[in-house]
Amino acid sequence: MLGFVIRRILFAIPIALGVSVVCFSLVYLAPGDPLQTVLPPDATAETIAIVRHAYGFDRPIPVQYLIWLWHVLQGDFGRSIATRRLVSLEVSGALANTAMLALFAAPLSFGLGAAMGAIAGWYPGRAIDRLVTGAAVIGVSLPNYWLGIVLVILFAVEFMVLPASGMGQSGSAAFSLWRWSDARFLVLPVLTLAMIPIGIIARSTRAAVAEVRGLDFVTTLRAIGLGEGAVLRHVLKNAAPPVLAVMGLQFGYLVGGSILVETVFTWPGSGFLLNKAIINRDIPVLQGTILALSLIFVATNLVVDLLQAALDPRIRRR
Amino acid sequence: MDGGQDRGPPLLEVADLTVRFVGHEARVQALAGVSFSLRAGEVLCLLGESGSGKSVTLRALMQLLPPGRTEVAGQVRLAGQDVLALRGRALQAFRGGSVAMVFQEPMSALDPVYTIGQHLIEAIRQHRGGSRAAARARAIGLLELVKIPAAARRIDAYPHELSGGLRQRAMIALALSCTPRLLLADEPTTALDATVQIQVLILLRRLQQEFGMGTLFVTHDLAVAAEIADRVAVMYAGRIVEEGPVAAVLRAPAHPYTAALLASTVHDQAPDQDIPTIPGSPPDLGALPPGCSFAPRCALVRDACRIGPPPATHPAPGRMVRCLRSADVLATPLASLATGDYR
């Protein structure tokens, strides 16, 4: 097992490097010149050259990458072209805001989705299965920006029990989870964000549990006299690895922040920041955000792999 | 092997056991009134081709058929206990405690993410309680009993880390973990290599005698039946068509189906000679003929065979057959059975 852990961690390093190359070059694949947004339309060729040199855009792209990587490794992501603030501050602030949503949306959707799926998969074909499967399809197919708007209309406009958008009067810097006057701003975005993962996880859990439940060893477990609770425990442990993989992807999606959901609720998170950076062609912010999110994805997948290996001995051999 | 007759009351009595699979469109009669009995320490082999109801019989005895989709009727008594009426905790204590099953495919019959030891310890503690350490010690003892080398190390192996033969030995250890009085073996050697088959058979036979367990052994392999059985019951289309002491039945079958089975085994034929096969195809359990189920494939069929199921007759003490023409089958020497020539 220890060998597997070490191998898997070492394996993550080239993946992270590859991700950084893609992140860096992605921006150059898009049309348009990032300098357009900072320079006045009537800038002289001389000014353009000076600014281009100042940003290092005149050097060969591989050199630019190595310089960028060198700085990134030291924690220096450069400054935002639009706001002149440090990218590291922009990204970490936005990530922290999104993490707050994910902190609630992840346990909510993982717990609820897995529980719903497990019940449905344990009783395939019964009414409860059809109910859960139907609910999961609805959860997956509802566009979440539409759901967000509906929730706002219901709870903020009609009933006036929850705020419609933003993070409250104290703003993101002084936001406290422990004050209801702040925390209530989380409710609607968290619900909106959790809906799709609930559906996806419920469906994959249902599929995994229903499949494992029909395997031969389940008959053996009953034949040695185990009760249904103990049998269910065996089934869940067998069904867990594929569900964990789906949860890992969904966690990445939650931490990445949904551009649509964060825009609907004007939540200053990473999705919101990404949206702004794309519109402004703010390349350093774009690179920093994508890199941070990708590394979180790599780390999440690493954790999922290790959890899967801990649960299923057959994975450790690969 | 002796007939094991007339030694005390039977351990297991099965009377008129009927199983129907209920689907959306069709009902399938998997067992149509199976009756037999088994004494303690006796081995009864259920013989027959796929779909004849051998495995369904075993599963019905442990209530392992999916409850929503099967209808089980009849009487099953183990040491006087009404098995089909057991529910809840009593059923759990019965499964594994009084009756245990060894399955055909040990790879899929063991939970792949639990070690051999975890299986054994869970079963032992389920039935006998006690500490984890005590259960583990007993588990190692069981693995030694089934001749798994380096048992103390192998107990922490996962099923996929063992060879097929060792996995089946572990499966047997799991079945024996709480010293059942009745052992059900569902083709336990079919999935194994030929050389390993013999070892596992010998092991099963030895343990069965050592523990004095009544054993129901399902197989389609006549050689295996000859090796391990005291009595055989030949099943066809959900019925027992012939039953009796193994030597008598295999030497002089009374049912045309048994005779055809014997004729179609690879034995002393010359290499260039075709192996006789049973004409026709296995019966469709959804649409059985009103008379003898074997009638459509039988060389000896008469009009009377197609009217109703033939009654049980007893051509010799301890033998039973359901065939109107059993006297003709018994009168035919085995050698000419191979050619299908009855006259």
Is B111 within 8 Å of A217 when comparing Cβ atoms? Answer: yes
Q: Is B72 on the interface with A (CB under 8 A)?
A: no
Is A224 within 8 Å of B111 when comparing Cβ atoms? Answer: no
B212: left (phi over 0), alpha (psi -120 to 50) or beta: left
With contacts defined as CB-CB under 8 Å, which chain B residues touch A217?
108-112
Q: Is A225 on the interface with B (CB under 8 A)?
A: yes
What does the H/E/C string look like for A33-52? CCHHHHCCCCCCHHHHHHHH
Tell me the one-letter amino acid at B75: Q
Is B103 within 8 Å of A220 when comparing Cβ atoms? Answer: yes
Q: What is the CATH number of the domain that holds A297?
A: 1.10.3720.10
What are the backbone dihedrals phi and psi of residue B225, each rounded to the nearest 5 degrees, phi first?
A: -60, -45
In a domain? residue A56: no
Count of A-B CB contacts under 8 Å: 79
Residue of B nearest to A312 (CA): B113
> What is the spatial distance between Cα B35 and Cα B241, in angstroms, rounded to a whole number?
11
Residue of A nearest to B174 (CA): A224
Crossing angle for the helix pair B132-145 and B116-128, to the nearest 10 degrees: 120
Identify the burial level of B65 via C-beta atoms within 10 angstroms of its C-beta, where 0-12 means exposed, 13-18 middle and 19 or more buried: middle
- Minimal Cβ distance to A219: which of B64, B92, B96: B64
Averaged pLDDT for residues B275-302: 85
Interface of A with B in 236-295 (CB under 8 A): 237-238
- Total count of domains within chain B: 2
In a domain? residue B211: no
Confidence of residue A266 (pLDDT cuts 50, 70, 90): confident
Contact B137, B156 (CB under 8 A): no
Averaged pLDDT for residues A298-317: 87
- Percent of chain B at pLDDT exceeding 90: 56
Q: Is A313 on the interface with B (CB under 8 A)?
A: yes
Is B92 within 8 Å of A226 when comparing Cβ atoms? Answer: yes
Domain housing A116: 87-316
With contacts defined as CB-CB under 8 Å, which chain A residues touch B109?
216-217, 219-220
- Total count of domains within chain A: 1
Angstrom CA distances, A216 to A213, B103, B173, B289, stand at 9, 9, 18, 33
In a domain? residue B150: yes
Averaged pLDDT for residues A106-127: 94
> What is the spatial distance between Cα A82 and Cα A273, in angstroms, rounded to a whole number?
12
Interface of B with A in 40-69 (CB under 8 A): 59, 62, 64
> What is the spatial distance between Cα B223 and Cα B20, in angstroms, rounded to a whole number?
31
> What is the spatial distance between Cα A239 and Cα A178, in angstroms, rounded to a whole number?
36
Q: What is the pLDDT of residue A317?
A: 67
Residue of B nearest to A309 (CA): B113
Domain housing B271: 254-337
pLDDT single digits (tens) B90-147 = 999 999 999 999 998 888 999 999 999 999 999 999 999 899 999 999 999 999 999 9
Q: Is A212 on the interface with B (CB under 8 A)?
A: no
With contacts defined as CB-CB under 8 Å, which chain B residues touch A238?
111-113
In a domain? residue B213: no
ipTM of model: 0.87
Is B108 within 8 Å of A217 when comparing Cβ atoms? Answer: yes
Residue A236 has pLDDT above 70, yes or no: yes
State which of A111-120, B64-73, B330-339 shows the largest mean pLDDT: A111-120
> What is the spatial distance between Cα A156 and Cα A299, in angstroms, rounded to a whole number?
37
With contacts defined as CB-CB under 8 Å, which chain A residues touch B160?
313-314
- Minimal Cβ distance to B95: which of A224, A238, A312: A224
Q: Is B114 on the interface with A (CB under 8 A)?
A: yes
Q: Of B179, B203, B235, which one is at a domain's C-terminal end?
A: B179
Q: What is the pLDDT of residue B3?
A: 43
Q: Is A211 on the interface with B (CB under 8 A)?
A: no
State which of A33-37, A235-239, B186-190 shows the largest mean pLDDT: A235-239
Q: Is B252 on the interface with A (CB under 8 A)?
A: no
Is B109 within 8 Å of A238 when comparing Cβ atoms? Answer: no
Query: Which strands sit side by side in the sheet containing B43-47, from one edge to the other?
Result: B99-102, B182-186, B214-219, B43-47, B231-236, B239-245, B320-321
Averaged pLDDT for residues B260-289: 77
Which distant-in-sequence residues (6+ apart) come within 8 Å of A22 by Cβ? A294
B109: left (phi over 0), alpha (psi -120 to 50) or beta: alpha
Q: Is B122 on the interface with A (CB under 8 A)?
A: yes
Is B108 within 8 Å of A216 when comparing Cβ atoms? Answer: yes
What are the backbone dihedrals phi and psi of residue A314, each rounded to the nearest 5 degrees, phi first?
A: -70, -25
What are the backbone dihedrals phi and psi of residue B123, each rounded to the nearest 5 degrees, phi first?
A: -65, -45
- Minimal Cβ distance to B126: which of A217, A220, A226: A226
Q: Of B159, B179, B199, which one is at a domain's C-terminal end?
A: B179
- Minimal Cβ distance to A220: which of B93, B97, B110: B110
Coil, strand or helix: which one is B34?
A: strand
Q: What is the pLDDT of residue A169?
A: 65
In a domain? residue B17: no
- Minimal Cβ distance to A234: which of B92, B103, B114: B114
Q: Is A227 on the interface with B (CB under 8 A)?
A: yes
In a domain? residue B284: yes
Q: Is A217 on the interface with B (CB under 8 A)?
A: yes
Q: Of B162, B179, B196, which one is at a domain's C-terminal end?
A: B179
Q: What is the pLDDT of residue A173?
A: 66
Q: Where are the alpha helices (DSSP H) in chain B?
A: 54-61, 88-97, 106-109, 116-128, 132-145, 151-154, 164-176, 194-211, 222-228, 246-251, 256-263, 326-331, 334-337
Q: Which residue has the higher pLDDT, A158 or B239?
A: B239
In a domain? residue B101: no
Q: Is A216 on the interface with B (CB under 8 A)?
A: yes
Coil, strand or helix: which one is A224?
A: coil
Q: Which residue has the higher pLDDT, B2 or A55?
A: A55
Confidence of residue B270 (pLDDT cuts 50, 70, 90): low
In a domain? residue B119: yes
Q: Determine the residue among A220, A314, A315 to mutate to test chain B binding: the one whose Cβ has the most chain B Cβ atoms within 10 Å.
A: A220
Is B96 within 8 Å of A216 when comparing Cβ atoms? Answer: no
Contact A307, A251 (CB under 8 A): no
In a domain? residue B41: no
Averaged pLDDT for residues B211-222: 91
Average pLDDT, chain A: 86
In a domain? residue A278: yes
Q: Is A222 on the interface with B (CB under 8 A)?
A: yes
List the structure tokens of A260: 């649509």
Q: Is A224 on the interface with B (CB under 8 A)?
A: yes
